[in-house]
Structure 1
Amino acid sequence: MTRRPGWFLAGGLLVALLLAGVVSNVASASPDGLDATAREGCVTDVDGTITAGTCMARQEGEHQLKDSPLADYGIKGIDNPYLSKGLSGVLGVLVTFAIGGGLFRLVRRRGQPAATAPES
């Protein structure tokens, strides 16, 4: 008897959606490891703006997707920052799940042996 992983996948998806939609709003606003390392050697003011020093972060510029609908961990056009960030996280989880599920099905179908015709 083989078990279908439906309940396990549904539970995992539900947990991921809850984390992305709710817990993401309480994530730290402090710079992560990459940002902190890039700012080593910089002098910043109270707002965090780099004012002097020699560091990697002085070379940074705007990214090419800054005007996209999901730029800066939110959804453009939604004024409530908690709702915007939560929906952006939920959308990211759903897209990732859909792509991963599609790739899994594609690989799984290719790995199945071809059906052989019955002998007469």
Structure 2
Amino acid sequence: MKKRSWGFLVGGLLVALLLAGVVSNFASAHPDGLDSSLREGCTFDAEDNVTGGSCPALQEKEHEIGGPLADYGIAGIDNEFLSTGLSGVLGVLLTFAVAGGAFWLVRRRGSHAANRADATAEQTPAGRAG
């Protein structure tokens, strides 16, 4: 890979890590479109918890599976800013690793197919279609 391509990839990764680790903490705390539509018709208490009404949000439950990165944070870290930032950084790194691995496999497979095609072409006698 060219030096310029590496610089682009590293720069993009650094920007993504900065956005996920720092800027994600400043995202809106208000519900997004899906949450808003599920909360239509609900009544709420002073802490914005659903107390009644007629809405799908009344059926809401905790995560059945849970996991270390559930609810945009890392389980066991009490500092909400740090927990959210670290979960964003881990998500970016995991996504980058999976995507990089997939691209590497596709590129490797493509180069093997090209090598096989070259080897087949070299083995075919001149003037004869193979």
* TM-score, normalising length: structure 2: 0.81
Q: 2:69 maps to which residue?
A: 70
Q: 1:11 maps to which residue?
A: 11
User: Percent identity among equivalent residues?
Assistant: 62
Contact 1:65 1:71 in 2 (8 A): no
Q: 1:36 maps to which residue?
A: 36
Matched to 2:115, the amino acid is A
| Deviation readout 1:23-80 (Å, 9 max, x if unpaired) | 01111111111100100111111211112211111122112233x2212211122222
Matched, 1:95 2:94: yes
How far apart, in 2, do the equivalents of 1:63 and 1:79 lie? Answer: 19
Higher relative contact order (CA 8 A, sep 6+): 1
Deviation at 1:114, TM superposition (A): 2.1
Runs of 4+ deviating beyond 6 Å = none
Q: Unaligned regions of 5+ residues in structure 1, if any?
A: none
**SS at 2:12 equivalent:** helix
Q: Unaligned regions of 5+ residues in structure 2, if any?
A: 124-130
Deviation at 1:7, TM superposition (A): 0.7
How far apart, in 1, do the equivalents of 2:102 and 2:49 lie? Answer: 42
Distance 1:50 1:14, change over 3 A: same
| Deviation readout 1:74-114 (Å, 9 max, x if unpaired) | 11222221111111110110000000000111112222212
The structure with the largest helix share of the pair is 2
CA RMSD of aligned residues (A): 1.8
User: Bigger shift: 72-81 or 97-106?
Assistant: 72-81
